[in-house]
Structure 1
Amino acid sequence: MDHDKIRKAHWDAVSTTVFCEICADQKEKGNRPTAFLSPEGYKILGIEFARRTGKTYSRPQFKNKWDSTKSLYQAWVYYRTKATGLGWDPVKQTITASKEQWDELIKANKLIAGFKRGPPDNLEMMDQMFEDAHVDDRAVSSSTQIVQDIEDIMKEVVDCGALEGSVEHYMATKLFSKLENRAFFHTMKTAEGRLRWLKMQYEDRKRN
Structure 2
Amino acid sequence: MEWTDDYNRIVCELFAEQVRRENRPNTHLNTLGYTEVSGRFYQMTGIELSKTQIKNKWDRLKNGWSIWQKLLRNQTGTGWDNTREVINMDNEWWKKMKVDVPGSGKFNKKARQNEDFLREMFGDISNDETDHWNPMSDNPVIPESQKDTENIDGAGEEEEEDNVFHDWSYREEEDEEVQEVLKKKKSSTALIIQEQITKIADSAESFTSKMQAEVVSIKEVMDVVLDCGAQYGSNEHDIATQLFVKKE
Residue 89 (structure 1) aligns with: 81
Assess, with a 3 A threshold, how the Cα gap between structure 1 residues 137 and 58 changes in structure 2: closer, same or farther.
closer
Residues 75-118 of structure 1 show CA distances to partners (whole Å, capped at 9, x for unaligned) of 1111112x266732333332222112223423665632342324
Distance 1:56 1:49 in 2: 7
Residue 167 (structure 1) aligns with: none
Residues 121-178 of structure 1 show CA distances to partners (whole Å, capped at 9, x for unaligned) of 1111000111311122778979xxxxxxxxxxxxxxxxxxxxxxxxxxxxxxxxxxxx
Correspondence for 2:112 among 110, 120, 136: 120
Distance 1:112 1:46 in 2: 29
Correspondence for 2:44 among 42, 45, 52: 52
Correspondence for 1:40 among 32, 56, 59: 32
- Identical aligned residues as a percent: 27
Residue 3 (structure 1) aligns with: none
| Number of aligned residue pairs | 133
Distance 1:73 1:106 in 2: 16
Residue 16 (structure 1) aligns with: 8
* 8 Å CA contact 1:31, 1:40 repeated in 2: yes
Distance 2:66 2:38 in 1: 25
1:73 maps to 2:57? no
Distance 2:125 2:15 in 1: 15
1:26 maps to 2:18? yes
Secondary structure at 1:32 match in 2: coil
Q: State the 4+ residue runs in structure 1 displaced beyond 3 angstroms.
A: 106-111, 137-142
| Matched ranges for 1:1-208 at <5 A | 9-81=1-73, 83=74, 87-106=79-98, 109=101, 111-136=103-128
Q: Which has the larger radius of gyration?
A: 2
Q: Which has the higher contact order (CA 8 A, sep 6+)?
A: 2
RMSD: 2.6
Distance 1:125 1:51 in 2: 20
Distance 1:22 1:60 in 2: 16
